[in-house]
Copies of this chain bind each other. A is one copy, B any other.
């Protein structure tokens, strides 16, 4: 008795509306929806036509129930990513949409152990098929194992390779920091200081390592370094120390744009002009860089594309398809007004 399938009475079209319209069984429609090869071209065309004319879209939730999959992928991040979150989210969204998935976003308060529980609760609640983990959450020890135990496919953006994730998209902190070092040396700077990030965080360790190693390659020694915690206040505190050095550094590299903003603040307070005698470089390529005065030279990683790649990998993982190792998209050194050639001779005294 399929008498009621004959009308599209107002409600959303279902697979049986399509089947009726195309004069086939729902099984065959299902085959078309799932790209099964066992359908004749003729039938397929008729079904596709019916789908279009009814503007039918398979219900994700019915499909989810039947397959045991949700067609949902999650993003976990933490508060500090606010500035790149939007970019990442959109990148994930692009690829997810392309492949028929939806995206759910979750922000966790990063308290090491607490965060693991929090993420697990999120995955259970939302029943996502796969998870994209952004740093610094991705660096939490034990998280990939916990996710594995819960059968959640996970792909991470991370500064360094980590065991346990299905795939890692490297954020190339070290390379990007190295590019900054090369750039500063090319400008003739020899007295270079750095405000590092918190050395408990992998990203910060890598930025420092990449910067110092590149300086080494250029046979330049790091004049001085002070550890910050990525906050504005710590940037200010570090700059106060660095700008009390004598002679002054000619360039300061801050491990993120926010701390660099702090450096600019102190420089301004002490009437040390930027970019000369003091060049300042930030890190992240965030929106704030161009808003500062002077606009901050910084280095941007292609987070949008990285997110797309991560999503691609994740869905491949979920669907059991091969994981091609894509070439990483290029870094971009965004040169602005906060850097210039090293002043000839020594810095003036103040």
Check: A245 CB closer than 8 A to any chain B CB: no
Q: Is the CB of B105 within 8 A of A89?
A: yes
The CA-CA distance from A86 to B86 in the complex, in Å, is: 8
Residues of A76-94 whose CB lies within 8 A of B: 79, 82-83, 85-86, 89-90, 93
Check: A220 CB closer than 8 A to any chain B CB: no
Q: Which of B70, B86, B93, B288 lies in contact with A287, CB distance below 8 A?
A: B288
Check: A293 CB closer than 8 A to any chain B CB: yes
Check: A182 CB closer than 8 A to any chain B CB: no
Residues from chain B with a CB closer than 8 A to the CB of A291 are: 232, 258, 261-262, 288, 291-292
Q: Which of A124, A125, A127, A293 has the most CB of B within 10 A?
A: A293
Q: Residue of B at shortest CB range from A69?
A: B61
Check: A64 CB closer than 8 A to any chain B CB: yes
Check: A103 CB closer than 8 A to any chain B CB: yes
Q: Residue of B at shortest CB range from A55?
A: B124
Check: A65 CB closer than 8 A to any chain B CB: yes
Check: A268 CB closer than 8 A to any chain B CB: yes
What is the copy number of this chain in the assembly?
A: 2
Check: A60 CB closer than 8 A to any chain B CB: yes
Number of interface residues of A (CB under 8 A): 42
Q: Is the CB of B93 within 8 A of A82?
A: no
Please list the residues of chain A having a beta carbon within 8 angstroms of any beta carbon in chain B: 57, 59-62, 64-65, 70, 79, 82-83, 85-86, 89-90, 93, 97, 102-107, 124-127, 232, 258, 261-262, 264-265, 268, 287-288, 290-295
Listed by A's residue number, 16 A-B pairs whose Cβ atoms lie within 8 Å are A57-B124, A57-B125, A60-B127, A61-B61, A61-B127, A82-B83, A83-B287, A86-B107, A97-B125, A102-B125, A105-B105, A232-B291, A261-B291, A265-B293, A265-B295, A288-B288
